[in-house]
Structure formats: structure tokens, C-alpha cells
Structure 1
């Protein structure tokens, strides 16, 4: 993380600055689309966003990418350790963990509800034992903690021009839309971890089950039944983007280009899935660098203008 960002946010402690830099590195490595969007935020906002992403990615890696040969008990112990560091840090106002220290500081700076972090950790624990979801209602329990609360954590950092309670449902819906987009893009990879994040009853309506998904994974292509089932899932996810869309205008003007860019680039992953005729087993649906740049370029100008207006109003 650049010293300018940390200085702008008033982060002086050397250990804390190192924790924020680690979170930024996690964001840059694992969340390229989202990291690109964060460049559109004001410098003093970026450390908080990176801290929230970095913490989520760190815990997600504990669950999904354990050290080679780690037992389930060892993974659970590491998750327990992360939860303890977070709980103690939130209680004392200062964290000691090289990643969690940053999110503890961000939570204090922006008065983020600790219950949002508790819900996130509960969903991460579900990944240790739950391999599928029978209904959308069951999946919603997981998604609340894994995605909707992320949108709610972000809201105080981004700021709003309306009552935050009015913007909160939109922020939560956008977090869910991003998560469901990832689920659709990553069906094959999730199967390799023996997980399916698509409601079984909705797949059954198209005569699709886990075994058919595995068969498609082995072949490297989706059959017509799976394509139709995934088209249905794409349509459901697009409805969430529509629900979330009015929330962008509820944010502070300086934050809107960032979220609008993330909104566009993530929703275009669905466009890529549709362009592939929903064959997520043939290749990974990605938005290319040229398209990322084309979306980001005008957003940079909007961001600069919004920041200038904010400074002029503050004078």
C-alpha cells in the first residue's frame, strides 16, 4: 500500500501500516476486478476497503486453501485462532495479528457492527462441513454471512447521502449479487472441492443434480440440461443486480465511480457466461483487461471530478 494512502488515512503506527499493506496485497492478488475499482476511491478510503477485503480473503484461504496435508481439525483450529484474534482485537481496539490488526482498526474507525464479522465467520465455518444446499432459503443463510454482510461492512467506509438504513438493503443485495456471480463462474472449481453453491431444488427443475455436474466437469463441457439450469441461475442473479442498482446513487459522490465500476465489471461476467452458452466447464468466464480498462477510464474522470467538488464544498 502506498505511503500516500496510509498517510491520507492517518495511519501512523508501523505495525499497523504493515498490516494494511498485507491486506492491500491480498486484494491485489485475489480480487483483481475489485482492486481495480478501489483505485477510484479517495486515498483515505482505500486502506479501509483493503482491510475488509484482506480479512475476508485471509479467512477464506484458511478454509479453501489449507496447507498441504492439513487435517480438518487443523483447519478448524486455524479458523478458531482467526476468530479469537478478531474477537480480542475488537474488544481491546487493537489487533496483533499481521492481517486482522488492519480490520480491527478499520472497524473502530468506521464504527462497523461486530456482529457483521461474527456472521461472516459463521458462514466460513459452514464451508468446513456443508457441501451443498437443498433450497435457496438454505443457501441464503450461508450467503448472508459470506456476502451480504460484506456489503454492509463496506457501507460506512463508502459513506452515503441518504439514511444508511435506506442504503443498507441495496448494499447487501450487491454483495449477494457479486457472490452469486462468483458461484456461477466457479462451478467447476467448487466441484473440485466437493461443493455446490447452487440450490439443489432449482437444479432438479431442469433434471440436473450433483452427479450430472460432476459428469460435465469430467467431460469439460456442459450438456443442454445444465446449460438451461445455469441460464435460470443467471436470470435470478441479474434480478439481484437490478435490486442493488439504486444503491449506487445513495453513496457519497466520491464513492460512486468505484462501486459503479465494480457493478459493471462483475455483471459482465454474467454476459460472458451467456456468450459461452452457459458452458462454465469449457473455460472460465472472465472480463478481459481491455474491457476493464475501457470501463475504468471514464470512471477515473468521474472520480476526480467528484473529489474536486467535495473539496470545493468543504472550503
Structure 2
């Protein structure tokens, strides 16, 4: 490993350790080359997210004064990194390195940046389809990129569909967990037609009088997340044992977030939902057993009725 690469890997490792304990725990299950590439990809995703949302390693979202300028910076630095240029920002240099090592499709990078553009434009979904399109751009496409990092061919559409489904599951769980935090930041990812169905006026999702109705929508998001999580599991026979182990651990750890939101009901946003270290270790153990028996999912689990990602 070159000195430059070693430094980028160390910085990327530190980024995931501080930014996402769940993903950090799951990433340790990969073989070393895959683990390092996953860290490099994460570092870029995290840096872009922090730039777009005024965060520091996933801290609370803040309102930024210059969203379009930040978006332009993300686009410029990402393009330079993909062209093989040194950007002066380790996270963007990490993108250039991992993209070159695994032949990461440029379309996936562009699709993620399009998600940041949606937020910069003040996106709020009108329908469930709008919500899922947003989830693809900010998380589903990351699942596709991670699959390529794990050795899946960009032409293997079936496996990439399942990888996308896991990203969708993660984002739906995030949205369910963060309804209150998003409201505080002036954002709402609950579809407008869902809010209309529940007679919740725009901008009033966290008013106590509407909390029982929002709890219904929180459970609905959790149910959608579990459907995509189940679909994603059907893609693991295409992965190596260690990659499947990591994916199944992450699916379980993040799936528990959605399940806990559903369980708490109206109190889901009083205290932020998270998984404990013991929960994570439990899923590492369970996922190991599941990975060994993943052949039973081969050809199982129709995607009928699930959202379809863009085709290239």
C-alpha cells in the first residue's frame, strides 16, 4: 500500500468510526481490501453529506446559507477526483482512489450528487413514489456503489437491485427515526398525500395533537423499510461469505431502528432511537449464521410491487 493510500485509508477509517458506529461495526466483517474500499467510499459520502447539511460527521442538521454553492463544490471536487486529480480534500481523494480501483460507474456518483441537489432545492415529497425516488438518490445508489466495491459487476442488474433495496431500507429507517429532527430543521420527508390522509397540516407534524397520526406514518415507514430489507437479503447469495456477513449484519442493525420506531409509537421521537453495542454484537453473531445459510434465499423473494431504480 502506498503512503498516500495508507493515509487516506486511515482518515476514512476515522471518519466511519466517528460518523456511524453501525456501519463501522459491519465493515469490520469484510475482507481487508473490501473493508478499506468501503471506508474510502464512506468517507466521500460522509463529507458530501456534511457539506450539504452543515453537519460535522453526522451531527444535527443546520440551515446553510449557501446550499447551491456547497452543491457546486461537491460537483467540482467529485469530478476532479474521478478525473484522477488531487483535490486537497482527503474524502474526495478517497473517492478518486476507490473509483479507480473498482471501476465505479460515474452514473452512480452523479445520482448521489443529484440527491444533494434535491435537498438544496428544498425537496419535499408529494407522493410515496417521490419519497422512494429521493431515497434512491441519497441511499439506494450508495447500496449499488457498495455492491460494486464488493465485487458485483455493474452489469449485474438483479444483484444491484437488491443492493439498492438495502439502501432504501436504511433511508426509510432514517426518515422514520428523524421525523422530529427534520421538522426542527425545516424539512419534511413524509409524503404530502400521507399527511393529507391523516389531516396533518403542513409544518405541524410535531404538534402534540398530531402525534398519534404521525405515529401511524412512522409505522408505515418502518413497514416499507422492512419490505426492502427482506428483498435485500435475497441478493446475498451473489456475494462472498464475508461480504454477505457484513451486509446481513448492517441490515439487522439498521432494521432494528425501524422496528424500534414502530414499537415506540407516539414516543418514538422523545429520545433518539439507536442500537446499543450489545445489539450490534448480537447482529454480528446472527448475521454470521445467516450468511452461512444464505443459499436458501437463492432465487427467493420477488421484487414485484417494489420501486424500480433508474436503468442505464
TM-score tier after normalising by the smaller chain length? 0.7 to 0.9
CA offset digits 1:118-149 (Å, max 9, x no partner): 11111112212214211122223322211111
8 Å contact 1:27–1:50 — kept in the other structure? yes
CA offset digits 1:148-187 (Å, max 9, x no partner): 1101101122134997222011001111110110111111
User: 1:44 aligns to what SS in structure 2?
Assistant: helix
Among 84, 96, 108, the alignment partner of 1:92 is 84
**Cα offset, 1:258, TM superposition:** 0.3
Partner of 2:228: 240
**Cα offset, 1:66, TM superposition:** 5.7
Show structure 2 runs of 5+ residues with no match.
293-312
CA offset digits 1:66-95 (Å, max 9, x no partner): 69999633x432332232121122123665
Among 44, 59, 79, the alignment partner of 1:55 is 44
Partner of 2:249: 261
> Structure 1's 121 and 32: CA in aligned 2 closer, same or farther, altered over 3 A?
same
Q: How does 1:26-175 map to 2 (within 5 A)?
A: 26-65=15-54, 72-73=65-66, 75-92=67-84, 95-160=87-152, 164-175=156-167
> Structure 1's 131 and 214: CA in aligned 2 closer, same or farther, altered over 3 A?
farther
Tell whether 2:262 aligns with 1:277: no
8 Å contact 1:188–1:280 — kept in the other structure? no
Richer in helix (by share): 1
8 Å contact 1:39–1:258 — kept in the other structure? yes
TM-score normalised by the chain length of structure 2: 0.83
Partner of 2:274: 286
User: 1:92 aligns to what SS in structure 2?
Assistant: coil
> Structure 1's 130 and 26: CA in aligned 2 closer, same or farther, altered over 3 A?
same
CA RMSD of aligned residues (A): 2.8
Task: Quote the Cα distance in structure 1 between the aligned partners of 2:39 and 2:134.
Answer: 23
Partner of 1:215: 207
Among 5, 15, 18, the alignment partner of 2:7 is 18
**Cα offset, 1:16, TM superposition:** 3.1
> Structure 1's 95 and 236: CA in aligned 2 closer, same or farther, altered over 3 A?
same
Tell whether 2:192 aligns with 1:200: yes
8 Å contact 1:48–1:103 — kept in the other structure? no
Partner of 2:178: 186
Greater shift in the superposed pair: 42-51 or 123-132: 123-132
Displaced runs of 4 or more, over 6 A: 67-70, 300-304
Show structure 1 runs of 5+ residues with no match.
1-10, 305-315
Aligned length in residues: 289
8 Å contact 1:28–1:35 — kept in the other structure? yes
Higher Cα radius of gyration: 1
User: 2:204 aligns to what SS in structure 1?
Assistant: helix
Task: Quote the Cα distance in structure 1 between the aligned partners of 2:154 and 2:107.
Answer: 23
TM-score normalised by the chain length of structure 1: 0.83
8 Å contact 2:38–2:149 — kept in the other structure? yes
